[in-house]
């Protein structure tokens, strides 16, 4: 069976092309130690195996996702709340999904390379990623690469 690389994951390819003009997600991150923001879906499911797989990267969470942890803490502020409101509005997310938008905003404000999430409904999907990117760009922030753990593993395999 042929191994799927990051260039065959449509939402990754679209995001990379949109912000860098590159067709290859692997080349965008080549040689970099990634900054990876973990949203609440990941923190809630983080296992020892994932900690080992991600040990080569700097890991971050915000006070939304975790109040006490062994990870570096990223804090929310007026800028992150304003960007979250913009993302929430432009993506037409339900009222209950404001924290989802706020995770992206915190990651963007703190210049994270990657937002790792299991939330494929509101964040890690081909429909939302371009909308999130445009909302971030409108606020002069770079959107993080929004991926699931499996997608990050595919990127890592190609590095």
* pLDDT digit string, tens, across residues 9-61: 454 445 444 443 434 454 566 677 888 888 888 776 665 566 677 778 887 76
Exposed e or buried b per residue across 21-38, where buried means at least 16 C-beta atoms within 10 angstroms of its C-beta: eeebbbebbeeeebbbbb
Q: Which two tokens stand for residue 159?
A: 């590095």
pLDDT digits (tens, 9 = 90+) for 108-146: 999 999 999 999 999 999 999 999 999 999 999 999 999
Q: 62 φ, ψ to 5°?
A: -110, 175
| CA 108/CA 84 separation, integer angstroms | 10
pLDDT digits (tens, 9 = 90+) for 50-101: 667 777 888 776 776 655 556 778 899 999 999 999 999 999 999 999 999 9
| Residues sharing a CB contact under 8 Å with residue 149, sequence separation 6 or more, in sequence order | 42, 50, 116, 118
pLDDT at 8 over 70: no
Instruction: Report the Cα 145 to chain-centroid distance in Å.
Output: 5
Closest by CA to 148, choosing from 74, 39, 53, is: 39
pTM of the model: 0.69
| CA 116/CA 152 separation, integer angstroms | 8
Domain ranges across the chain: 6-158
What CATH code would you report for 6-158?
3.40.50
């Amino acid at each position: 069976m042929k191994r799927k690389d990051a260039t065959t994951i449509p939402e990754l390819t679209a995001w990379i092309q949109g912000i860098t003009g590159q067709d290859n997600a692997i080349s965008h991150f080549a040689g970099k130690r990634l900054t990876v923001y973990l949203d609440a879906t990941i923190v809630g499911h983080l296992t020892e195996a994932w900690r080992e797989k991600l040990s080569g990267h700097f890991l971050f969470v915000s006070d939304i996702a975790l109040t006490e942890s062994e990870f570096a803490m990223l804090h929310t502020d007026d800028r992150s709340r304003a960007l979250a409101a913009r993302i929430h509005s432009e993506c037409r997310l339900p009222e209950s999904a404001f924290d989802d938008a706020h995770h992206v905003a915190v990651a963007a404000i703190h210049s994270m390379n990657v937002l790792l999430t299991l939330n494929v409904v509101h964040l890690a999907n081909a429909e939302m990623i371009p909308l999130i990117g445009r909302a971030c760009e409108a606020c002069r922030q770079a959107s993080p690469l929004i991926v699931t753990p499996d997608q990050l593993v595919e990127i890592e395999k190609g590095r």
